[in-house]
Amino acid sequence: MIDYRRIFLVLQATLILTTLLAAEPRARRVPSGPADTMYYNGKIITMWGEQPVVEAVTIADGRFLAVGTTQEVGRTIGPRTVQIDLDGKTVVPGLIDAHVHAIMAGLAERDGEIPIMKSFGDIRAYVERAVRSMPADELIFIPKVYSTRLTERRYPTRWELDEFSGDHKVMLDNGYSSALNSAALRAVDVDRDTPEPANGKIIRNDDGEPTGLILGARQIVSGLIEQRQFSDEDRLWALRKMQKAYSGAGLTSVIDRALRPEGIRTYQRLWERGEMQVRTNMTVLLSGEEPIEQLLEQTERFAPLTGFGDDFLRVGGLKVVLDGGILIGTAYLRTPYGTHTEVYGYDDPDFRGVLRLPREKLFKWVQFGAKLGWQMSAHTTGGGSTDLLLEAFEAADREESIRDRRFTLIHSNFQNEQSIRKAKELGVLVDVQPAWYHLDGPALSEVLGPERMKTFQPLKSLFDAGLIVAGGTDHMIKFDSRTAINPYHPFYGMWMTITRKTITGEVYSPEQRLTREQALKMWTWNAAYHSFDEEVKGSIEPGKLADMVVISMDYLTCPERQIKDIEAVRTIVGGKVVYEREK
C-alpha cells in the first residue's frame, strides 16, 4: 500500500531544505590527486583574481585540481595522467549563456532550415516554396519575423501576403505580434467589426479594414498557434541537437528562461538518459494573465523550488511576462512611443505599450513567490515595466529582505540613473541581450530619438554601479550560432558589447563600451552568479567544475574586429571533451 503521508512529508522536507539553500552559493570541492588530465603550454584566462592568466591546469574527478605554472600543476600528475599540449592556444572558462530557449529554437527547424528573413522578397520566396509543398489546409508559419530587421522597415499587409499565398493560411509571428494573410484572418474570425482587444491592437487601414497585423492579444491567434503540434520525441530531438550546437559554440552552461511543464519533462528525460552535455538552469514560466487566485495557486503548487537539482540540471527562478517587446512596439515605456512608429505598423502618439500584469496583481505575485523561496524574475523590455517591477521587488523587500535572493530583471533594455540605483540597493541582477542593440539599434533610434537611446543598454553604467550583468541572447530560432534569432555565439555577443557597433555601423553612446575583461565576465562569472553557481562555475580555480573552452585566437590581444570570429576548438565539460572542431 502506498504511504501518501510519508511521500508528502519527504517532499515537504525536501522543499524546506531547498528553500534554505536557494539563496546560498554552492560549495566548491578540491578533488584529491593524482590528476586524470593535464593541459599545459597554453594561455589560460582564468577569470580568477589571484592568477588571471596561467599556462597549465590539472583535472581530477570532473573538477580543477591545480591551476598555475606547468611546474606547479605538474606536481599533481601521476603515471596515468593524460597530458595534453595546448601548443600556445588560449583557453577561457566554460562559457554561459544566461538566456536561451533551446527546445523552441530546435523545434523551429524540425522540418528543415528556416532562412533569415531580411526583406519581403525573402518572405515571398519562403511562402511560395511552402505553397508548392504543403497541403492547402495547413498553416504556413514563419517564426520570429521582426520589422526592425526587414529592409522595408514594416510588416507586409494581408493583401501583400495574399499575392503569393493562394488559399493557404500564412502567419508571420514573433511571440508578441503577428502578421496574417486574409485566409488566416478569416480562420481567427477577425474582420472590420471585431472589437479592439484590451491587451493589444488590431491594426486597421483608413477604411477600418484589418491590415493583418495584430499586436499583443495572443488569445486572438491562439487557435492558429495550437495547430502546430509537437510530440515529446520532437522536443527531445530538438533539445539533444541544440545542446550539441551549443557545445560547438563553446557554451558549457545555459539558463533556459521560459520553461513550462512539457519543456521541463524534456530536460528530465535527457538528464535521465545521461545525455546532458550542457549544464542547464531552468527558469519556470507562468502565465500571468489568469486571475490572481489562479496565478498564486500555480505558484504554490509548483515544486521543487529554486536550487533543486544537480550539477547538470537545476531549477532556477520563477518568471512571468510583464510587458511586450521593444522590437514590435509593445514594450511598456516610461513615455509614449510618439509619432515615428511606422516600423511598428501603428499611429498612436499616446501609446506606451502593453502592461500584461496590473500593478496590484504583480505586487501580490512577487511577494507570494518570495515568501515561498523562489528567485523571482519577469520579462521586462521597457523602462516603464522595469520601474514597476523594481517597485514590486522593493515592496517584497519591505516584508522580508530580498537582497541576497538575486531577483532578476530579464531584458531590462532601458535603465536610467534611478532604476540602476534601486537595482543595486536591492541586489537585483540584470539579464541583457546585446544582439538587440546590434541588430535593431538603427531602427529603434528612428522611433525613440537620441535622448531615450542614451538609456538603451547602458552596459558600462551598469558595471560601474556594481550590478551583476549577465550575457544572454534570447536565442529562439535556428541552429546556426551567428545567423540564429537571436545569434547565440558568445564571442559575437562579446564583440557587440566591446565595440557597440550596430549592423549598419553606427555607434550609439560609445561611452557605454565594455572592456574585453568585462565582456568575458558577462558570459562567465556573472552568468554563473545568476544561478547561484559562482562557487562552482564561471572561472578556472581549484575545486570548481572543470568546464573550459580552447579557442582559436587570443581573446585578450587579437585585433578587436576579429573577436566576433573566434571559434571554439575544444569544449570541455566536467573534464570531458564534448566538442572538438574538425581540422
**How far are the Cα atoms of 1, 6, 19, 280 from residue 13, in angstroms, in the given order?**
22, 11, 10, 24
Q: What phi and psi, each to the nearest 5 degrees, are found at residue 178? A: -145, 145
* 268-280 burial code (b ≥16 CB/10 A, e <16): ebbeeeeebbbbb
pLDDT (0 to 100) of residue 334: 98
* Residue 453: pLDDT over 90: yes
Mind listing the pLDDT tens digit for each residue in 495-554?
Answer: 999 999 999 999 999 999 999 999 999 999 999 999 999 999 999 999 999 999 999 999
Q: Report which residue type is found at 144.
A: K
User: pLDDT tens-digit profile of 183-198?
Assistant: 999 999 999 999 999 8
pLDDT of residue 175 exceeding 90, the answer is no
Decide if 430 contacts 481 (C-beta within 8 A).
no
Tell me, what amino acid is at 105?
A
User: Residue 360 is placed in which grid cell?
Assistant: 496590484
Question: CATH code at 483?
Answer: 3.20.20.140
Judge if 220 and 245 occupy the same domain.
Answer: no
pLDDT at residue 7 is higher than 50: no
365 shares its domain with 257: yes
pLDDT the model gives residue 196 = 92
Domain shared by 144 and 282, yes or no: no
Residues 379 and 459 reside in one and the same domain = yes
Residues 154 and 252 occupy one common structural domain: no
Quick one: pLDDT at residue 114? 85
Q: Quick one: pLDDT band at residue 20, thresholds 50, 70, 90?
A: very low
pTM metric for this prediction: 0.93
Q: Do residues 517 and 557 both lie within one domain?
A: yes
For the chain, the distance separating the N- and C-terminal CA atoms, rounded to the nearest angstrom, is 60
What percent of the chain has pLDDT above 70? 96
239 and 221 within one domain: no
Query: Are 316 and 283 within one domain?
Result: yes
In a domain, 491, yes or no: yes
Asked if 128 and 185 sit in the same domain, the reply is yes
Select from 225, 242, 261 the last residue of a domain: 225
Counted domains in the chain: 2
- Residue 341 domain-assigned (yes or no): no
| 195: CATH | 3.10.310.70
Amino acid identity, position 417:
E
Instruction: Give the pLDDT band of residue 104 (cuts 50, 70, 90).
Output: very high
List of residues 6+ apart from 381 with CB closer than 8 A: 323, 324, 325, 326, 331, 332, 411, 412, 413
Shared domain check, 205 and 313: no
The parent domain of residue 186 ranges over: 112-225
Q: Are residues 384 and 508 in the same domain?
A: yes
* Dihedral angle of Cα 503, 509, 511, 517, to the nearest 10 degrees: -40
User: Does residue 415 belong to any structural domain of this protein?
Assistant: yes
Of the residues 172, 207, 225, which one is the last residue of a structural domain? 225
216 is written with which cell numbers? 499583443
Residues 262 and 377 in one domain: yes
Q: What is the per-residue pLDDT across 380-416, written as a single tens digit (0 to 9) for each?
A: 999 999 999 999 999 999 999 999 999 999 999 999 9
